[in-house]
Amino acid sequence: MRLTLKPKKDMMIAYNDGCIVLLRQQLGSLGSLNQLGFEDVIAEPELTHSFDKVWICSHALFELSKYLIYKLVTLVLAIPLALVAGIIFAVLSCLHIWIVVPFVKTCLMVLPSVQTVWKSLTDVFIVPVFQSIGRCFAMVNIRLDQE
């Protein structure tokens, strides 16, 4: 049985005495949370490694299984989680559009004093918060470099 591996952008394949070794290239754009290495899990010190063949094959198997299981879990969970997130967003949008906004507008039309209190509360509490957030992010510059 012959196994053909096609590495993605962040992986390279090296052959070492019949064992397949998957090597990760360091990518600056990836977070450090998913950068779990073989040495982080198998805490075998440098001086007391197992036989070289065992070490190389176990390292290759670790990297391959980590890669494949991540892809499998992503395949199984990504679509249902995206569907659930879409349903939640749709329900919240519908509730906001058809229940919250009409209720607030009705209250503001029926009770002018509530409108005055509501405007005062938003001017005192909500407007300054969003103005502060806007000023904090006003000087943010985003530069995209293509390498």
Name the nearest CA neighbour of 20 among 8, 34, 6. 6
The per-residue pLDDT for range 82-141, each reduced to its tens digit, is 999 999 999 999 999 999 999 988 877 878 887 788 899 999 999 999 999 999 888 877
Residue with tokens 């503001």: 108
**Cβ 123 vs Cβ 129: under 8 Å:** no
Residue with tokens 């607030």: 104
Q: Per this entry, what is the length of the chain?
A: 147
The per-residue pLDDT for range 4-53, each reduced to its tens digit, is 545 555 555 554 554 454 444 444 444 555 566 666 666 566 677 677 78
CA-based end-to-end distance of the chain = 39
